Structure 1
């Protein structure tokens, strides 16, 4: 191979040196017949080129025969090195992207109101303009609309609350009178929550939501097992807990119904029947409020117990009233409906709840209509409700905001638009609870002076932009869970401050069809908003009255 390379180099160098145009000889005389000389030189050059090509082909053939095995080994090694380098770079890039995402999550301001760009693959045609160029009516039109369509329901809400609270007091007192204090659940006084007690109810008919805490008989107690204080749980279980029924002395076995003689018409609320009777008839002990062969409270069993207890309590006091009482929604425990003889009705919800330690947190059955729209995987899962803290926070903010602040007005108008849109296109994944959560975040991030009544149009537009941003990002953090900006004066348990933030829009990440429907419905609502506000400002539909002029109690 070395000899061949030498021959090739020698031919090339010789051809270059002997080329007369590149290196002309000194003292040479130019022949008379120049054309003949040029022709011979060209012929000689062609021969040299042919010889050069032949030698190059021979050298290439010899080199290929000798280096073929080595080349295969080198190529394999090169491929392995390339693959290893690619894997290394892929890993480094992935780590870099993860670090960027973690940094973004940690440093992103949750109250930022800048609307992100849309995902063209998922949300085609949304454009980059916030709210797609929505132009809300001016402040005067919004104020006129609010006065005509929303403020008028305030007086009705106060009368409705007064009537429902008086009736529920009587109903719960009747329930306690038929219970055996030694073996039955102890029912406490009700607690008013949600929009009717936060003064932003807009839907008709007016609906009161009342919590009814209950506790087990002595020596039992409820021991909640929070998801944030035990072993790691899946994302869809965050916000839930299991309620364990234990004895105060730590012994979870046995029941006082085996030590107390119950009447023929009395049932132990921890067990369906007297222990001996259950063993003789059913061949074993079957829990009434706990899941089968489990110490954990079962929401299905609680629903049956609560509805049965309410039915018995109503039968005791029914003769005092000139109306009927019926269950409104069978899948929701405590969903009741007062039916007047005139055909009018008044719905309200009386929900059995369990207090979380000594705080204002309560566990509610997943069978209720929860604000997050979640459905528990097990009947022993109970959702943690911050409804009482939400009411406290709004009351605390009301004292700090200017007189006549527009924060509740913004929420009411947004809920009004959402309610009308739901009637047009059907319900979506967006609820009034999401709107309230967005408002709570804005209240915490904005100065008190920004909520003056004159800023109604600006704050409403800001609320809708915040909601749009959250939808596009599929991320709406729970206001209390993991939010370290919540004032300490709220008295929120420390475990809630330390808990991981809970994304209320997490179902949109898993359910693409629901997300698409929700986004379409949201933008349709924005499109219809100016026309709806203008129409209802001129003509207010007459809702049928809910309350009679005067409730008759015999």
Structure 2
């Protein structure tokens, strides 16, 4: 066939064996992602109906982020977590102001979300029944209106991650029966201080794990602040960490729109992620390598027949990065980021950030990384 022309038969057989072993996994991830997306759509609809006349944050449509929602995963099926990112907007009569958190040095940019009341008197004059929090007495407000966001989910003037997580967990527990999926799935809210983790079970099938993360958009960009901590840092409850997860999800959607049928980039991610399990190389390192390669190698070069070639490219690129002690963050100072991904202006003009800075600064860590890669 045209697809196999010019290939060595043994290589072609090996590629098919690899593909058969991981194709089911990529397809199953896509199917379960659709189930999670439908669930979140219905859950957030019920939430908006419940809090229509209150002053809690306005929940925006959920965005699937992280490896499982991108179509690959380093984890076994039973451990896969589908992360859904829910942006928050201020309710009527409130506004959000982002302030850089300078209280302590952190490896990742942290910000506080100051909540301020704004005058709504003009809307009252147009017939809006909401009372202005700034220009009505506390007595009148208390008797006629739900409390402001400052009185419910803030600590001082700042939006509190932990209070939001607890509020949403309680809502899900009480409102689950109103969600259509409750007829098919049992649901359990798992302990979490900064997100809402759900375990869904349907008859004899494997459980479905979902984590709902809350976020605040930076301007009109695809860069957000996230309620989720990192493995290395759990910040104070009023600090939100900068995240690139939504921009990464947008990038993979951009690639999917251009990729040929039966393209192999997700299969490459899936297989390499499994190879790197147990090593010091994180799945975020792998994802960054593949994102760079997807902008360097033309998209038609990621078709099925090129599977082994692209696997080799991924490992060679990672090898070069380890030897040179440098792997650039994908979104800083990178001219190859697609224009349709909206970044803050200073991102495109910034100096590249080295994700392997620890290898450049620590010769022992570099020696360990070289040894681990050679062992692969």
Q: TM-score, normalised by structure 1?
A: 0.55
C-alpha distance in structure 2 between counterparts of 1:488 and 1:217, whole Å: 31
Does structure 2 retain, via aligned residues, the 8 Å contact 1:442–1:463?
yes
C-alpha distance in structure 2 between counterparts of 1:255 and 1:211, whole Å: 35
The match for 2:88 is 214
The match for 1:271 is 151
Equivalent position to 1:503, from 335, 354, 364: 354
Q: Return the offset for 1:254.
A: 6.4
The match for 1:30 is none
Residues 1:168 and 2:40 are matched in the alignment: yes
Measured against aligned partners, the alpha-carbon deviations of 1:384-425 in whole angstroms (never above 9, x if no partner) come to: 22333223323333455555433222212101222xx33xxx
Size of the alignment, in residue pairs?
352
Residues 1:345 and 2:207 are matched in the alignment: yes
C-alpha distance in structure 1 between counterparts of 2:137 and 2:208, whole Å: 39
Residues 1:446 and 2:297 are matched in the alignment: yes
Residues 1:261 and 2:148 are matched in the alignment: no
Q: Which has the higher helix share?
A: 1
The match for 2:72 is 200
The match for 2:172 is 310
Does structure 1 retain, via aligned residues, the 8 Å contact 2:195–2:228?
no
C-alpha distance in structure 2 between counterparts of 1:260 and 1:193, whole Å: 40
Does structure 2 retain, via aligned residues, the 8 Å contact 1:257–1:268?
no
Residues 1:243 and 2:113 are matched in the alignment: yes
Equivalent position to 2:245, from 384, 387, 390: 387
Change (3 A) 1:255 1:289: farther
C-alpha distance in structure 2 between counterparts of 1:499 and 1:256, whole Å: 47
Q: Return the offset for 1:429.
A: 4.4
C-alpha distance in structure 1 between counterparts of 2:27 and 2:108, whole Å: 39
The match for 2:322 is 471
C-alpha distance in structure 1 between counterparts of 2:31 and 2:141, whole Å: 45
Equivalent position to 1:366, from 198, 204, 228: 228
C-alpha distance in structure 2 between counterparts of 1:222 and 1:413, whole Å: 42
C-alpha distance in structure 2 between counterparts of 1:162 and 1:471, whole Å: 37
Structure 1 stretches lacking a partner, 5+ long: 1-136, 273-287, 423-427, 527-554
Q: Let me know the Cα RMSD of the aligned residues.
A: 3.7
C-alpha distance in structure 1 between counterparts of 2:71 and 2:26, whole Å: 7
C-alpha distance in structure 2 between counterparts of 1:492 and 1:458, whole Å: 32
Q: TM-score, normalised by structure 2?
A: 0.77
Q: Which has the higher strand share?
A: 2
Does structure 2 retain, via aligned residues, the 8 Å contact 1:482–1:496?
yes
Q: What SS does the corresponding residue of 2:141 show, helix, strand or coil?
A: coil
